[in-house]
Amino acid sequence: RWADFARFIDDGRICLSNNAAERALRGIALGRRNWTFAGSQRGADRAAVMLTLITTARLNDVDPKAWLADVLARIADLPTSRLHELLPWHWKRLREADKPADQQAA
């Protein structure tokens, strides 16, 4: 057990605290009172999906509103083989590649 507990000493990628996870859950804790009004299990499931999408975008330093607006505008016309381009981390990289060089330096 000690080896598992002390793994962070050997692997610098492992964070010493769980602060990031607790911050991610803060919004869930704050909204819990309002979610009792989801209307149905189906509504609650949809809210959970949306919160997951928004949190994933934020964890990848992507503006959730801009990302979701672009995804919803493009998803119907995008071939299935290119859907991975809409994932937040790919979307961000593609948007940065499309920016002119002078905007990237700023």
CA dist., res. 70 & res. 90, Å (int)? 13
Mean pLDDT of 79-94: 94
Q: pLDDT per residue over 12-21, tens digit each?
A: 787 777 787 7
Q: At what angle do helices 88-98 and 64-74 cross, to 10 degrees?
A: 90
Q: What pLDDT is attached to residue 98?
A: 84
Of 65 and 100, the one with more pLDDT: 65
Is the model's pLDDT at 106 over the cut of 60?
Answer: no
Mean pLDDT of 60-72: 96
The helix/strand/coil state of 28 is helix
CA dist., res. 54 & res. 57, Å (int)? 5
Q: Model-level pTM?
A: 0.63
